[in-house]
Amino acid sequence: NAGVTQTPKFQVLKTGQSMTLQCAQDMNHEYMSWYRQDPGMGLRLIHYSVGAGITDQGEVPNGYNVSRSTTEDFPLRLLSAAPSQTSVYFCASRKSGEETQYFGPGTRLLVL
Partner 1 sequence: GDSVTQMEGPVTLSEEAFLTINCTYTATGYPSLFWYVQYPGEGLQLLLKATKADDKGSNKGFEATYRKETTSFHLEKGSVQVSDSAVYFCALSPFSGYSTLTFGKGTMLLVSP
Chain residues binding partner 1 by CB under 8 A are: 4, 31, 33, 35, 40-45, 48, 50, 58, 90, 92, 94, 96-101, 103-106
- Least CB distance from residue 94 to partner 1, whole Å? 7
Which is closer to partner 1, CB of 1 or CB of 14?
1
CB of 80 to partner 1, least distance (A): 26
Closest CA to 91 of 109, 80, 39, 63: 109
Cα–Cα distance for residue pair 97/87, rounded to 1 Å: 30
Q: Are strands 107-111 and 10-13 parallel, antiparallel or unpaired?
A: parallel
- Amino acid identity at 46: I
What is the chain's length? 112
Q: Which is nearer to partner 1, 19 or 50 (CB)?
A: 50
Indicate the residue among 26 and 98 with the shorter CB distance to partner 1.
Answer: 98
Q: What share of the chain is helix, strand, coil (3-state, %, to 5)?
A: 5, 55, 45
Give the shortest CB-30-to-partner 1 separation in angstroms: 8
Please, which residue, 14 or 100, has the CB nearer to partner 1? 100
